[in-house]
Structure 1
Amino acid sequence: MQASYTGLDGKRYNAPHTFDNRTDARGWLSIQQAALTQGEWSPVEAARSAGRSKARTDSLGEFAQEWLRTRVNRHGEGLRPRTRVEYERLLSGALSPLTGERLAMITPEAVRAWYSSQMEGGNKTQTARAYGLLKSILATAVQDGRIVTNPCMIRGAQNASTGKKVEPPTSAELQKILDTITPRYKAAVLLAAWAATRFGELTELRRKDIKIVKSGRDVDAIVVDVARAVTHTTGVGFTVGPTKSAAGVRSIALPPHIHADILVHLRDNVGDFPDSLLFPASDGSTHLAESTFVKHWYPARAAAKRSDMPFHALRHYGATRFAQTGATLKEIQERLGHSTVSAAMRYQHSAGRDIELAKRMSALAEM
């Protein structure tokens, strides 16, 4: 037999369990009534009691779907499409042995057994991501009163990795890639290497994002304004949104030795229309898919005998070269768009200093 009552907040609260007879149900209701009349009733505790009851029947998979629907970041924004797809992939993949379990039955021992099994499979990075997701979901379950404590207690599990280090290209390898890559993508490689842009930032760049600073006929500086990024999600398509973090919105001065190549690309492949993409798909108007770009990237890196190198390694190259100019840690963080500095520090950015450091980068290109 079930029992429920209306709290002082006007909401309906169910008993945490069913009763064998009407007398027991009425006894429980009498206790709740006494708490209400004596001012000892708490909506928080009542919700926790109801949540613990729900945890007896709700599975991790059911609660995870509710979590995906309601999850927001610190800015109050819901999950981005690509993030949601990645979480669903982990739930249907690495976390599938646990999704059918009731929340109340997921113990620290069960989590450790699952984690050990996944690590034995050799997927260290994916296991770390899956563990981090599981920990976040169950932390919400604790807040909602579905479970008392979070069973994810494995120290360092969220930070496990394969230990593989991304090796940026040498100057000679980068030059070979530039000599080999399909000409219309040469500027893309240059921007990734010398401005350290992420692929999603690079492929959303438009003509209006390129500022050319002149004195007379001479080009003093070319500055790239990164303000957006594009992601591609299977079943959703391309989504233009904010950069990876607030720190990702930034202005990047290009080193002078690549000015000529960028200007040629703008003239021959982009034109003057402000919203024209710098690196569109073959139709000239839609975004360039990574799956399309790699058809040009793979042969170029193979020519440089670096078939192991992901495109993201060019960002590492740019970061390393910029650091070698003598840039401060704060300047490096600002140029790369890392979120490890506060938003206030980003506004202290000096365009003049960035241009000066960019000029030093050209000298390194000749080394």
Structure 2
Amino acid sequence: MQFRRIVARLPKRYRMLLLLAVGTTARYGELVALRRRDVDPVAGTVRFERQWYRGQFKPTKRPASDRLVYLPPDVAGLLAVHLDLFVGPDADALVTSTRNGAPPPTNHINGYIHAAAAAIGEVDYSFHSLRHLGGTLAAQTGASVREGMRRMGQSTSRAYLIYQRAFDDRDQAIAAQIGRGAAQGGRVLPLPTADELAERRQRRDGTG
């Protein structure tokens, strides 16, 4: 998975930030505002109550943004290690910080992400791509719109439906691949990559 290859190329103190972004689908400001008191790796939970906005800690954007989110088990395990290595013992110590203890600027993290992505041939990859990835993965589990809205801290269904549509596009590719396999005597065919799907769309639309 390309995401994990990108994570592996970041400085170790910032890798958990990316894992939490996909694992919780939270916004950047919410994630860099997390304190030790807000996370529980044993229970596998993260509580969002505030955000880092324009150089200040402030309440989250809206009531729907105050939420408790469960982590994938592997991320919860890595979070425990991260707390031991990079987070001070105080309950208010930031989960993600620069070496001087401040929340890292967005462009600082995006610079690392762009460099890591470029090294493996990925372009147009940013921190926001991680929230999109997390939302798409949540939609693929079959979560309801309301469940997805709650997990992402959204107050309306419109935004979350974007991720369901992304899964619908992938489901269409799955159905097409099943059909191709059946036409070849019931063979099981691997799904096409994103690049192959883009090339097929270009041929279909006459833009290739």
After TM superposition, what 4+ stretches of structure 1 lie above 3 angstroms from structure 2?
none
CA distance in 1, matches of 2:100, 2:24: 26
Structure 2 matches for 1:239-250, cutoff 5 A? Answer: 239-250=56-67
Alignment-derived partner of residue 309 in structure 1: 125
Partner residue in 1 for 2:80: 263
Residue 224 of structure 1 aligns to a residue whose secondary structure is strand
Identity, in percent, stands at 35
Residue 39 of structure 2: aligned partner: 210
Contact 1:194 1:317 (C-alpha < 8 Å) held by counterparts: no
Which amino acid counterpart does residue 134 of structure 2 have in structure 1?
G
Count of residue pairs brought into register by the alignment: 157
Taking the aligned partners of 2:48 and 2:10, their CA distance within structure 1 comes to: 24
Are 1:228 and 2:50 counterparts?
yes
Matching of residue 276 in structure 1 with residue 98 in structure 2 = no
**Structure 2 residue aligned with 1:187:** 16
CA deviations on 1:157-201 (whole Å, 9 max, x unpaired) are xxxxxxxxxxxxxxx110111111111111001000111111101
- 1 or 2 for the larger relative contact order (CA 8 Å, sep ≥6)? 2
2:149 match: 333
Query: In the aligned structure 2, how far is the partner of 1:181 from the partner of 1:243?
Result: 27
Provide the alpha-carbon RMSD of the alignment.
Answer: 1.5
TM-score under structure 1 length normalisation = 0.41
Report the alpha carbon displacement of residue 297 of structure 1 after superposing the two structures with TM.
Answer: 2.0
Contact 2:117 2:125 in 1 (8 A): yes
Q: Which residue of 2 aligns with 1:51?
A: none
Q: Mind listing any 5+ residue stretches in structure 1 that lack a counterpart?
A: 1-171, 214-220, 233-237, 342-367
Deviations 1:299-329 (A, max 9, x none): 1222232231221110111111112112111
Change (3 A) 1:304 1:243: farther
Q: Which runs of 5+ in 2 are unaligned?
A: 158-208
SS of 2:99's equivalent in the other structure is coil
Work out the CA distance in 2 between the residues paired with 1:268 and 1:199: 22
Equivalent AA in structure 1 for residue 84 of structure 2: R
* Aligned with residue 292 of structure 1, among 108, 116, 122: 108
Matches within 5 A, 1:84-99: none
| SS of corresponding position for 2:97 | coil
1:175 matched to 2:4? The reply is yes
User: What pairs with 1:316-327 in structure 2 (closer than 5 Å)?
Assistant: 316-327=132-143
Q: How does 1:122-133 map to 2 (within 5 A)?
A: none
Asked which structure has the greater CA Rg, the reply is 1
Partner of 1:254: 71
How far 1:287 sits from its partner (Å)? Answer: 2.1
